[in-house]
Every structure is written in C-alpha cells, then in structure tokens.
Amino acid sequence: MVTHAMRSAILGHLFDMAGLRKQDDSTKDLTHHRIVRDNNDVNKIISGINETLNPFDEIAQDGNLYCLSTGKATSVDVKNDLLHCVEIGDKRCNTFIKECFEDPARFEKPISRSKLKNFSSDAIRVKLTVKDRKIKELQGTRDLFGRLLYLAASNNVDLALVFRYPLTPVPLTIAQVDGSVNKTDKSKLMHKLEERVKSSKPVSRDACAIDAMFLIRTLVNVPATFGEIAKLVLTRLLGFAKRVDFVCDSYKTPSIKDIEHGIRGSDATHTNFIISGPDQKRPKDFNASLKSANFKTALLHFLVKEWKRTSYIEQIRGYTLFVGLDDKAYQYDVKDDSIHVQEVPSLVCNHEEADTRLIWHVKHMCESYKGGNIIIRSSDTDVLIILLPTKVVTSLSGPLTLMFL
C-alpha cells in the first residue's frame, strides 16, 4: 500500500528529475529587504538586552541564576529546579516506563504533575494580615488571677510581691508578647520640640545634606528606566544647594535591623539584584522593590557609577556633590570639561544607618561654611534628636538651619 508520505516522496523525485522544482537561492539572504529585516532584528536583540539584564556581563557571572527581564536572582529552589528540570524529567520518564513494564495497567493511570518551581514562583505575593499589623496585647482574664489567688492562699504567697514582676513572657515595657520590639512613636517627641521653638524659612541655602532613601521614596511618576531615574534623582539633588551631600544607608546582614525589616514586610532580603545599565527597565512596582535591601544596595551603587558618565557634565557643572555609600565617600565636580570623582578620606564612615552618618557630613559642612545655612532633609526624628546635643551644633559660630519634612 502506498502511503501519503511515499506518494509525496515519489512526486518530489519526479519534479527534481523533470527540473520542475525551484531550487533554493542561497543569495536571497543578501537582498536589500532581508538585510534591513535582519538588521532590525539585531537591533531589537540589542535593545532587549539593554532594557533588561545583559547575560554576558561580568557582574552576572557570580554563580546565581538571574531572570533576564527583571535582573533579579532566583531563590535556591527555583535555581535547582530550572537547571535540573531535564534530569528530573528523564528520571520520572524512566520510572514511568519501569512501572509500565511491571504493571501493564499502569499506562492508563494518571501521571502526577511535577511541582517544579520557575521564575513566577519568586513573584511578589501580597499577604493580607491584621489591619496595620497591630499585635493583640495580652489580656489578663479572671482565670489567670483566679489561679494566682488560689496559689497565694494555698502557699501563703504575698500577691503584692508577685505583682512586682511581669506576668508575661517578656516585659511589656520593652517588647510585645511575641518578642517583637515595643516601639514608641518618636514623632511625638519632635512635635513637643516644635511647640517650644519658633521656626522660619532659611533666607539662603549654602549646603544641604539629604537622606538618600528619603529622597528616592518621595519620587513621583518614576521613569521607566534606571538611567532616567538617575537623571531625575540628580536633578532633585542639585536643586537644593550648590553643595549637596547624598548620604546612603548600608544594608548589612546579619543586623539588628533585620527584625524591623521583617515587620515592614521586606521580601527576599537575600535575593540578589543586578542593574547592568541605564537602559534597563525598572521593576513595575518600584516602591515594593524598595523593601528589598539588596535592591536598594544595587540601586545606590548604580547611581554612584552612573553619575560618573560624561552625559552628566552640564548637570553637575557649578555644583559639588558628595556621596556617602558603604564605608567610602566620593566627591563629584566638573573640571576641564570632565567629571572629576575622588574619594574623600575625611568623610569615610562605617555607620550602618544614614541617621548618624548625616551628622558626620554636617560636621564636614560646618567646617567649610561657617556662618552659613545648612539644610538637612530627612523624615527621621532620630536625626534631629541625635544632632541637637552634639558638639556639631554647640560649637557653631554661625546659624544652622534644620529642615525636616
């Protein structure tokens, strides 16, 4: 019996022998429209790499598995499943074949799905919790006091002595019943201070020290690419004064702040992020990404590197920018039509939080602008409380203006 495939093969040979089949022209790839189309395809690939993560970049060769579209490193479970999915599939296939040989009825039975994790498994999921993350305080019941009364009567225990000690696992003055820190709203102290001080707007602004994350979190209409974000942040910075100090937090681990980060809902603290270039697109939910310490670290390091490019000469010309990041400090200014970047040993600081590091930068400013107005931009009450009793203020020969938002 001649099958359809055999008939097609016979007809194909017949057309070849009769010269009726058109031969492929190897030069058709060199026609103008093909060259234009291929060049467009290459440009799309280059554009796609610039907008995401360049897989050939050295910073991506650290042993982690990264999602090209987000620049985010996957978790260990996702990495193992994706890299060994073929091996896992072969193993399950061999197991299925073996089971079918042992039991012919096995072939018709359902096959369980492999619960392999992929990039979507690492997507951010919103968890609904108790409103405002309020922690229910321990409520004493009459049963508790009833037992105490019984023990006091049967063992001749003085209740006045018992009530001198906390009846909870941890003292409620310093911690909640689950062990989390019992915090006081520090802004109340600032409101009390404001009631005792008459404030006025500064006439001039000689220098400005600003908390880096405070500025970044106040951005609205965040641009789509990290390069545009860098331009926007620099524009905002240089609008405050001729000298601006951009002071950054350091995100170390393990840290005493890990508990606080967990309460705030910081996701995937140990997940790596890579920002490979200015054309890379930012995450869709930029504010949610700012909950990740590694993302903020990658963003701050990108800004320090990006502002060295010659495209920022006109923006920085006439200004002096200081950046404090990790255990180093950098000074940016324009000299001979080029951006000059140098480390500043006198501003080197290993403080983890920008709160205390801001004070170090203010001290450096006071030595340069005696009698001038120095603006501090921060939303953290800690900065004000730390600054007031320090020698930085008491030793000033001129006025110091503090601005908190």
Question: pLDDT digits over 297-309, tens only?
Answer: 899 999 999 999 9
Give which of 218, 196, 220, 199 is closest to 379, Cα–Cα.
218
Residue 49 has pLDDT above 60, yes or no: yes
- Of residues 258 and 8, more confidence is placed in 8
- For residues 321 and 331, is the Cβ–Cβ distance under 8 A? yes
Residue 220 has pLDDT above 70, yes or no: yes
Exposure b/e, 244-276, CB count within 10 A at least 16 = b: bbbbbbbbeeeeebeeebeeeebbbbebbbbbb
Lowest mean per-residue pLDDT among 153-157, 266-270, 276-280, 351-355: 266-270
Residue 280 has pLDDT above 70, yes or no: yes
Residue 401 has pLDDT above 60, yes or no: no
Q: What is the pLDDT of residues 77-126, one digit of tens each?
A: 888 888 888 998 899 999 999 988 888 888 888 888 888 888 777 665 54
Q: How is 154-222 classified by DSSP, letter by letter?
A: HHT--HHHHTTS-SSSS-TTTB-TTS-B----THHHHHHHHHH------S--SEEEEEHHHHHHT--S-
- The arithmetic mean of pLDDT across residues 305-319, rounded, is 91
- Of residues 367 and 403, more confidence is placed in 367
- Chain Cα centroid distance, residue 281: 14
Residue 389 has pLDDT above 70, yes or no: no
List the structure tokens of 100: 């079918």
Lowest mean per-residue pLDDT among 2-16, 79-93, 168-182, 364-378: 168-182
Lowest mean per-residue pLDDT among 181-185, 325-329, 330-334: 181-185
Question: What is the band of 279 on the pLDDT scale with cuts at 50, 70, 90?
Answer: confident
Residue 329 has pLDDT above 50, yes or no: yes
Residue 39 has pLDDT above 80, yes or no: yes
What is the average pLDDT score of the chain? 78
Give which of 262, 259, 269, 267 is closest to 181, Cα–Cα.
259
List the structure tokens of 271: 């997940």
Dihedral sign for Cα 97, 101, 103, 108, please: positive
Residue 83's pLDDT is: 87
At a CB cut-off of 8 Å and minimum separation 6, what does 219 contact? 229, 232, 233, 236
- The arithmetic mean of pLDDT across residues 15-22, rounded, is 80
Residue 392's pLDDT is: 54
Residue 228's pLDDT is: 93
Residue 133's pLDDT is: 44
Residue 263's pLDDT is: 56
- Of residues 62 and 356, more confidence is placed in 356
Q: Say what the pTM is.
A: 0.62
Residue 155's pLDDT is: 83
Alpha-carbon distances of 15 from 5, 19, 21, 402, rounded to whole Å: 15, 6, 6, 90
Give me the percent of the chain exceeding a pLDDT of 90. 15
Residue 204's pLDDT is: 75
Question: What is the band of 332 on the pLDDT scale with cuts at 50, 70, 90?
Answer: very high
- For residues 244 and 210, is the Cβ–Cβ distance under 8 A? yes
Domain boundaries, the chain: 64-123, 199-404
- For residues 350 and 387, is the Cβ–Cβ distance under 8 A? no
At a CB cut-off of 8 Å and minimum separation 6, what does 17 contact? none
Residue 313 has pLDDT above 70, yes or no: yes
Residue 137's pLDDT is: 41
* Greatest Cα pair distance in the chain: 118
Burial bucket for residue 292 (CB in 10 Å: 0-12, 13-18, 19+): buried
Amino acid code (one letter) for 400: L
Give which of 375, 343, 352 is closest to 362, Cα–Cα.
375
Residue 394 has pLDDT above 80, yes or no: no
Residue 1's pLDDT is: 62
57-61, 181-185, 286-290, 311-315: which has the highest mean pLDDT? 311-315
Residue 135's pLDDT is: 40
Residue 400's pLDDT is: 54
Lowest mean per-residue pLDDT among 31-40, 43-52, 116-125: 116-125
